[in-house]
Amino acid sequence: AAATEAEVRLLLQEARESIEAARSYRRELQQRLRGLHQAREQIKDSATLTRDVLEQHFSDLKGTLKKLLDERLTSLLQEVDVIEQESIKPLDECQKLIEHGVSTADDLLREGESAVDGDVGQQNEKLCNFTKKALHIQLDSLPEVPSLVDVPCLSAQLDDCLLTILKNQIFRHGTVASRPPVQLEEFVEKPGGILVRWCKVDDDFVPQDYRLQYRKSSASPFEDVYVGSETEFMVLHIDPHVDYQFRVCARGDGRQEWSPWSVPQSGRTTLVPHEWTTGLEGYSLSSRRNIALRNDSQSCGVLYSKAPTYFCGQTLTFRQVLFGIETVGQPDRRDSLGVCVEQRNGDDSLQRDKAVCISTNGAVFVNGKEMTNQLPAVTSGSTVTFDMEVVQLGPCSNEGGNFKLRVTISSNNREVVFDWVLDQCCGSLYFGCSFSYPGWKVLVF
């Protein structure tokens, strides 16, 4: 009996496991059915859209060709009218001259016949008058009439090879692709933005430019956000926790037309945008508070971020913070930009403890101490990148701290890497900047 109960319990356990496996198997199959349904709908929808595009394009093309042919026909007919009028005009003038001569000759004939057949008493006078009149008219002078070979003979020269050229061009015009040559590859969350990456999937396609579009909802139209040769782009001004649709296409080398669009994909960011703190007298901010301009105020201090939005996530990797320097003012040795553990009023520079920064002359400071390694000076158009990751947690008595970050600072294609040891665990950091003179304009994203 005991053996039987054990066998029953074992069978029940195996049955429950089989049931759970069957449920999991069913879920997987249902998910694959949904995938097949989506694939089928994508094929049908894209085929319908392609038909509509082809029909509209060729309808427009036929209308345009008819309009061009009608315009050319009108132009040629106008040329015929002009040549006809210009060629007939001298003939009309010659005809009037001849008709006038015929009329004059008729009058002279009637007068001569009357003089010859008139009375003997008046004959002598009439004959004298007729003779004088005949000599005055110059009966031996005749107007010249052009021969047929000397006058225009209009004709139309129509080259039948145009039909052959058009036929060959039309037969090669347009293609139908089963898949686009480029596809979206990755969406990387950034504070207030999304880094979009794409790749070429057609080995025979040689791209010259890419074109990225996005939209906030399916009801709104797509709009261009990037056109260029790069295969990634940072899309800014993205609202957190909102899905955006993206698509990309490409233009082949030496071509004018764009390729078909990639399959639209959704991307979102859960990271709030970086913002500078408002209210510091020495700085003016943009409407989105992501651009800080050092104004001409005499006040000098450190401008911090509104919140510690530069943070380390569960992957133990700090998000990058990029400082795009747009304009440059007069430099000062205290000028700097970087990240810090806390805001601290009264400081005139980030070159202090619990902060890492780079000065405008390229010097790197860690907790207020200058490193031997130096980066290029910050000039107009420079970009400075901070990247951090946690490399150690827990006690570290030899180095005086228990929290170590691996810091990479890049500027103008050069970088320095070092460990930043802190005596406290920091889940997030502030960023900041300090400039002594007006003219500096810093974009943070």
Rounded Cα gap, residues 76 and 158, in angstroms: 11
CA dihedral 125, 130, 135, 140 (to 10 degrees): -150
Rounded Cα gap, residues 35 and 50, in angstroms: 22
Partners of 235 in beta bridges = 194
**Span 345-365, average pLDDT:** 92
Partners of 433 in beta bridges = 303, 337
Rounded Cα gap, residues 304 and 308, in angstroms: 9
| pLDDT (tens digit per residue) in 33-48 | 999 998 899 889 889 9
Lowest mean pLDDT among 7-16, 367-376, 387-396: 387-396
pLDDT of residue 374: 92
* Residue 31 pLDDT > 80: yes
Quick one: which of 196, 185, 206 has its CA closest to 251?
A: 206
pLDDT of residue 196: 96
Quick one: which of 360, 196, 192, 188 has its CA closest to 276?
A: 192
* Residue 217 pLDDT > 50: yes
Instruction: Count other Cβ atoms within 10 Å, centred on residue 401.
Output: 16
**Span 384-406, average pLDDT:** 71
CA angle 423, 428, 433 (to 5 degrees): 95
Question: Which amino acid type is present at position 86?
Answer: E
CATH 3.40.1280.10 fits 182-269, yes or no: no
DSSP code at position 150 = G
- Residue for token pair 């198997």: 25
Give me the sign of the Cα torsion angle 277, 279, 280, 282.
Answer: positive
* Residue 285 pLDDT > 90: yes
Lowest mean pLDDT among 45-49, 139-143, 236-240, 378-382: 139-143
pLDDT of residue 227: 96
* Residue 398 pLDDT > 50: no
* Residue 438 pLDDT > 60: yes
Q: Could you give the strand order of the β-sheet that contains 193-200, starting from the edge strand earlier in sequence? A: 182-190, 193-200, 232-235
Rounded Cα gap, residues 356 and 63, in angstroms: 66
Quick one: which of 313, 310, 272 has its CA closest to 431?
A: 310
pLDDT of residue 250: 95
pLDDT of residue 314: 33
* Averaged confidence pLDDT in the chain: 86
Rounded Cα gap, residues 379 and 328, in angstroms: 6
Lowest mean pLDDT among 98-107, 164-173, 319-328, 330-339: 319-328
Lowest mean pLDDT among 15-29, 123-137, 424-438: 123-137
Confidence of residue 325 (pLDDT cuts 50, 70, 90): low
Confidence of residue 317 (pLDDT cuts 50, 70, 90): very low
Q: Which residue has the higher pLDDT, 382 or 186?
A: 186
pLDDT of residue 251: 93
Helices 2-117 and 120-137, interaxial angle, to 10°? Answer: 140
CATH number for 283-444 (one of 2.60.120.920, 3.10.105.10, 3.30.1360.120, 3.40.50.620): it is 2.60.120.920
* Residue 198 pLDDT > 90: yes
253 φψ region: left (φ > 0), alpha (ψ -120 to 50), beta (else)? beta
Rounded Cα gap, residues 75 and 82, in angstroms: 11
**Span 19-25, average pLDDT:** 94
DSSP code at position 111 = H
User: Whole-model pTM?
Assistant: 0.61
Lowest mean pLDDT among 90-94, 269-273, 392-396, 400-404: 392-396
pLDDT of residue 192: 86
CA angle 118, 123, 129 (to 5 degrees): 110
Q: Which of 140-149, 312-321, 390-399 has the highest mean pLDDT?
A: 140-149
Domain ranges of the chain: 1-172, 182-269, 283-444
* Residue 401 pLDDT > 60: no
pLDDT of residue 124: 72
